[in-house]
Structure 1
Amino acid sequence: MIKYYQLKCCHLLGQRVKTPFAEVDLLFKTPRQTLLMVEVKTTNLSDFQPFRITKKQKARLVRAMLFLAARWDVLVEIHWAFVTKDGEITVFEDISD
């Protein structure tokens, strides 16, 4: 997953970054100088099921995003990355309902 984002010129700032609201799997700085939070989910299915993302999970990550945005004084994006055991990666860049 890290290499996937590094190939997009993102710089890894940390893994399993703890905030008061949630642990962020991966945190990157993007070429646009924004932060990118990536929540990684593994799945055995090549036809994954994004409904596995609960409203509670989304809410926790949104609170973590707001915390990081205030702390770093930058915009923060959230991506959900689904990875199959074969290494197939699918990324959702918009987690809104």
Structure 2
Amino acid sequence: AIRCIKNVTIHNAAVLCINAGEYWLGTGAADNSMSLFHRSQERLGGHSTAALKMSGWQLYRTPQKAVAMVRCAASDLERKRICAGGRNGLLRLWDATLTK
């Protein structure tokens, strides 16, 4: 059986893409915002069920830019980037810089 373990509202518009990796989770939304989550490798404890808990994930996010509604988005989690294409023909590349 499969069940929902957590609901999290982050974006003010429809989510267009989700890309999940072992340590990164990226989402892109129609309001031209993105969310990038990182999970520390130390928190895993060698067991993948820790991935189900949001408490192990840290949120990184770009500021919202509502110039034009996004039509598509894609993410490169290893480089911590999300690319979004808007209805006005504008292509934006978001790069999340991680600081400790």
Instruction: Tell me the TM-score normalized by structure 2.
Output: 0.32
Instruction: Tell me the TM-score normalized by structure 1.
Output: 0.33
Which structure shows the higher helix fraction? 1
The structure with the largest alpha-carbon Rg is 2
